[in-house]
Structure 1
Amino acid sequence: MKVKVEDLHKHFLTREGRLEVLKGVSFEVREGEFVSVVGPSGCGKTTLLRLVGGLDSPSSGRITIDGKSPDPSLHRLGFVFQEDSLFPWRTVWENVRFGREVRGMEGEREVGELLERMGLRGFERCYPHQLSGGMKQRVAIARALAVDPDLLLMDEPFANLDAQTRWILHQDLTRIWEEVRKTILFVTHNVEEAVYLSDRVLVFTVRPARVKRVLRVGLPRPRDKLSAGLVKLRKEVVELLREEVPYL
């Protein structure tokens, strides 16, 4: 599934007046590509994700998914947010199965295979309050993948996790992405995370955000976070962000 964003603008009307969030944003995400978006806090990264997912409408400009405007009823999209957003009254199995139920999709076997792939075997009957933060995010990712999405939109899914758990989930997400090759648009504040996971990294300016630079990672997987190539890319992204936020 290919995503194309052309001259995208978004503003909100507040008590203080008009707040411009995105200004002339343009980029593409190719089918099966993993693209991350980094930028200063509050620059509009989450707003962009909502627009691409059809959860909000642009003020001007154009977004297309395989040539058509974003429409959750038309496009098969998966969402993973910073908060796990699991239903507390549903078990792990029932949470993962939810999207398939809504769409009238069969597939008990597919749900079981996905739980196995995500390392959730044995936790099927657990409720969210019985899980660690990392396990909850595994369930959230499994739920998003359960509908077999053509496009996966991820909004800082690992931001609330400790460093060790985040590192493990980076490896898990990379492994699963290589297996299923879904198109992923991934928003993060974590520069190391962006360069480790992605094929390309979009660097945004301060609000109103524009695309400051697009960096191609171009390194083979599996990757080593301490490799010279990744360290160099991380430094390049940090320097670009420091031009926007000097105290970074």
Structure 2
Amino acid sequence: MGTLELKNVSMSYDTKKVLEQLNMTIHDGEFISILGPSGSGKSTIFHLIGGMLTPDEGAIFLNNKEITGKKGHISYMPQAPSLFPWRTVLENVLLIQEINGKKDKQLALDMLKKAGLADYAYAYPDDLSGGMKQRVSFVRALMSPMPLLCLDEPFGALDELTRLDMQKWLLSLWSMDKRTVLFITHNIEEALYLSDRIYILPSNPNDSLMEVTVPFPRPRADDLWLNEDFLEWKKDIYYKLKPSGMTAK
């Protein structure tokens, strides 16, 4: 189970208010994206959920248990793959389990096979492309027993075609695992294609948090982003990201 709640969370850096009375609920098995302009607090939310920061006000709950300011309750995948170059792909994937005192080599090999990386289990990160490194990083995150997976713009540094392939791959692997996912992105199309719901952070923390329920059924079509309805939703969210905003559909 991986149900996450942020209740009346506020956070400031020095005198700059970043989050003001923020409320979010992410249900078990949901894929939720967070969109927002630079400086709106997207990464701050992850740092708060992960216990690296403690909010000025409010509380954070995972499965009805308060985790405010506590570490070790989520699995986190950063923007960069962060693989150790002296460890093989398999050794990198097993790292989280090593930290937790339990290794399942066969499970790791099975996960790498599902990720299309079976032939690279004993290769080193320098032998991999950017997209392959991201796959290794994601498999490592899935090897964690934590019920909540936080992905911080994992495809932002990839080229357009590689990113599209990675989005399809992520959905195919997630559909087998169905772990609760919280996904930060600045890309509207990516959020629409991947998510069940989208939270849109305002540029001004005093403005209201917006929420969009994505209407497209799963599994998502490969050419969904060419669909006229998809383009209309993209346009609508684009205007929501503007300070003036638009009303939700």
1:143 corresponding residue in structure 2: 140
The code of the aligned residue for 2:205 comes to P
The alpha-carbon deviation at position 118 of structure 1 amounts to: 1.1
1:9 corresponding residue in structure 2: 10
1:121 corresponding residue in structure 2: 118
1:26 corresponding residue in structure 2: 23
1:243 corresponding residue in structure 2: 243
Matches within 5 A, 1:170-185: 170-185=167-182
2:86 corresponding residue in structure 1: 89
Is 2:164 the partner of 1:167?
yes
The alpha-carbon deviation at position 128 of structure 1 amounts to: 1.4
The alpha-carbon deviation at position 195 of structure 1 amounts to: 0.6
Q: Is contact 1:21–1:208 with CA below 8 Å preserved after alignment? A: yes
Shift in CA distance, 244/86, structure 1 to aligned 2, threshold 3 Å:
farther
Distance 2:96 2:212 in 1: 34
What SS does the aligned partner of 1:243 have? Answer: coil
Q: Is contact 2:22–2:209 with CA below 8 Å preserved after alignment? A: no
Shift in CA distance, 114/209, structure 1 to aligned 2, threshold 3 Å:
farther
Q: Is contact 1:81–1:155 with CA below 8 Å preserved after alignment? A: yes
- Higher mean displacement: 143-152 or 64-73: 64-73
Shift in CA distance, 207/133, structure 1 to aligned 2, threshold 3 Å:
farther
Distance 1:241 1:119 in 2: 36
The alpha-carbon deviation at position 87 of structure 1 amounts to: 1.1
| Aligned-residue RMSD, C-alpha | 1.5
2:129 corresponding residue in structure 1: 132
The code of the aligned residue for 1:213 comes to M
2:231 corresponding residue in structure 1: 231
CA deviation map 1:192-223 (0-9, x unaligned): 00010000000110143755310000211232
Distance 1:59 1:129 in 2: 42
Distance 2:229 2:22 in 1: 28
CA deviation map 1:43-77 (0-9, x unaligned): 1100101111222111111111111223333x3x2
Q: How many residues align?
A: 239
What SS does the aligned partner of 1:225 have? Answer: helix
Distance 2:43 2:154 in 1: 12
The code of the aligned residue for 2:39 comes to G
Distance 1:78 1:37 in 2: 17
Q: Percent identity?
A: 36
The code of the aligned residue for 2:118 comes to R
The code of the aligned residue for 1:19 comes to K
What SS does the aligned partner of 1:58 have? Answer: coil
Is 2:107 the partner of 1:106?
no
The alpha-carbon deviation at position 228 of structure 1 amounts to: 2.5
Structure 1 length normalisation: TM-score?
Answer: 0.92
Distance 2:6 2:216 in 1: 25
Distance 2:84 2:192 in 1: 32
- Higher mean displacement: 107-116 or 207-216: 207-216
In structure 2, the gaps of 5 or more residues are: none
Distance 1:236 1:157 in 2: 24
CA deviation map 1:23-51 (0-9, x unaligned): 11111000000000001112110010111
Shift in CA distance, 132/210, structure 1 to aligned 2, threshold 3 Å:
farther
Distance 2:40 2:203 in 1: 5
Distance 1:180 1:82 in 2: 21
1:72 corresponding residue in structure 2: 71
